[in-house]
């Protein structure tokens, strides 16, 4: 029965570790998708804004071209400067948004690393406690065997407490 409980605890521990691993992989994939989507959306938004601005400016210049040839040349120069400013502004906004996304990804990566380390620490601690419990039970069983040599094997098993299942596995807590 002890071996069965040990196997059950081992299987539950491995399942919890596997669930955590899958969860971490899923979060990493979601972050990568979010990052790619944010970059694509920012670029498309920039393109749309520039297209709209260019369309408005070209229409205006076309209407005024026949009335004022000299004014057109000057407005064309102003238009190019304004477009350059808008492009620079749009590039700065895109860079700022990209930097925010990168910072968020880095924060999430740090959280994932922290959670992974916590999981490893908890698993090591659990394994250590599990080993200590097994050693204590074995020592106690040896003591019973030495103290009560007249008892048949298994006759004093009632002295050893039954192994209880961890509240973490009973409660369905998913790490």
**pLDDT tens-digit series, residues 79-120:** 899 999 999 999 999 999 999 999 999 999 999 999 999 999
With tokens 């669930």, the residue in question is 19
What confidence category does residue 74 fall into, taking pLDDT thresholds of 50, 70 and 90? confident
pLDDT at 175 > cutoff 90: no
pLDDT at 172 > cutoff 60: no
User: What pLDDT does residue 171 have?
Assistant: 45
Residue 173, SS3 per DSSP: coil
Q: How far apart are CA 135 and CA 129, in angstroms?
A: 10
pTM, entire model: 0.38
Q: How far apart are CA 29 and CA 35, in angstroms?
A: 10
Q: How far apart are the first and last CA of the chain?
A: 27
Mean pLDDT, range 36-48, rounded to an integer: 94
Q: How far apart are CA 26 and CA 120, in angstroms?
A: 18
Between 82 and 148, residue with greater pLDDT: 82
What's the token pair of residue 52? 């709209």
């Amino acid at each position: 029965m002890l071996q069965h409980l040990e196997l059950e605890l081992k299987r539950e521990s491995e399942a919890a570790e596997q669930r955590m691993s899958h969860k971490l992989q899923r979060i990493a994939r979601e972050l990568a998708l979010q990052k790619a989507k944010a970059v694509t959306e920012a670029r498309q938004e920039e393109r749309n804004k520039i297209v709209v601005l260019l369309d408005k400016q070209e229409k205006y210049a076309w209407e005024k071209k026949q009335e004022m040839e000299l004014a057109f040349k000057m407005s064309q120069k102003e238009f190019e400067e304004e477009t350059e400013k808008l492009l620079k502004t749009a590039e700065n906004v895109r860079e700022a948004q990209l930097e925010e996304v990168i910072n968020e990804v880095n924060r999430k990566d740090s959280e994932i690393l922290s959670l992974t380390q916590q999981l490893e620490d908890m698993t090591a601690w659990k394994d250590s406690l599990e080993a200590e419990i097994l050693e204590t039970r074995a020592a106690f069983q040896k003591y019973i065997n030495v103290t009560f040599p007249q008892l048949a094997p298994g006759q004093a098993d009632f002295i050893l407490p039954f192994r209880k299942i961890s509240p973490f596995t009973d409660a369905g807590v998913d790490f």
